[in-house]
Amino acid sequence: MSEPRPSFIARIFLSFVASFRTLFDSEFAAGIVALRSGARLPADTSDREVVERKTPEPPPPVVTQASPDSALQLLGMLQREGRFIDFLEEDVETFSDEEIGAAARVVHQGCRKTLREYFDITPIRAEEEGDSVTLKSGFDAAEVRITGDVSGEPPFKGTLQHRGWRASEVSLPKIAEDHDVSILVAAEVEL
C-alpha cells in the first residue's frame, strides 16, 4: 500500500527538519545523497527494523583568544616578589651550583609567597606520587593525562607520576584602566 503524498505545509515542515538532520546526522545525509543519485528506498515490510537514532556529535568547542592581561599581571608579581624573570634571563653557565642554589632559594620563596597570596592551589589526585591508581570508565581526561602504553578501554591501572594541580580560587588584584600590564616591573635608576 503506498503512502499518501504529504501536503504543501507538511512538505515545508519536512524540508526544515530534513535540512537540520542532514547537517547533524552523517548517515541520514548519506541516505539523501543515495536517493538523489537514483537509489531506491527499501521495500516497505511489516517487520521492518527500527533504525536506532544516533545522537548528533556535539559541535567542536569554541576557541577564543585569551587576554594576556592576567598572565602579564602574574608575571609582574612573580618578578616583584621573587625576581623570577631576572633569574630565568640570567646566564647561569658561569655560576657554581652553590650560587645557583642560593639564588633559586630566594626566587622560590618570593614566587611561592605570590602564588599563596593570589591563588588557592590544590592537588587534583589525593594519592601520593608513586601510588597505584585505577582510572574507571568516565574519568575526566582534562584532569588526568594517561602516558605509556595506552590501549583498550577503562578501567586503566597505573602508577601516579604527578598529582596535578587545580586553581580552586584566583584573586588577582584589580587593574586600573590606564595601567600598562606589559610593563612587568619598571626600570630602576638610582640618583
Q: Are residues 31 and 78 in the same domain?
A: no
Is the CB of residue 100 less than 8 Å from the CB of residue 127?
no
Residue 63 CA to chain centroid, in angstroms? 10
The model's pLDDT over 102-160, given as tens digits with 9 standing for 90+, comes to 999 999 999 999 999 999 999 999 999 999 999 999 999 999 999 988 888 899 999 99
Does residue 85 lie within any of the structural domains? yes
Q: Are residues 96 and 134 in the same domain?
A: yes
Does residue 53 lie within any of the structural domains? no
pLDDT at 55: 63
What residues does 165 pair with on adjacent strands?
123
Is the CB of residue 129 less than 8 Å from the CB of residue 161?
yes
Domain range for 18 is: 1-41
Q: Are residues 30 and 83 in the same domain?
A: no
SS (H, E, C) 58-99: CCCCCCCCCCCHHHHHHHHHHHHHHCHHHHHHCCHHHCCHHH
- The number of distinct structural domains making up the chain is 2
Does residue 186 lie within any of the structural domains? no
> Cis omega (within 30 of 0) on the bond before 155?
yes
Residue 57: CB partners within 8 Å, gap ≥ 6?
A: 24
Q: Is the pLDDT of residue 50 over 50?
A: no
Q: Is the pLDDT of residue 42 over 70?
A: no
Q: Are residues 79 and 159 in the same domain?
A: yes
Is the CB of residue 25 less than 8 Å from the CB of residue 54?
yes
Q: Does residue 146 come out as left (phi exceeding 0), alpha (psi in the -120 to 50 range) or beta? A: beta
- Confidence class for position 2, pLDDT limits 50, 70, 90: low
Q: Are residues 102 and 30 in the same domain?
A: no
Mean pLDDT of the chain: 84
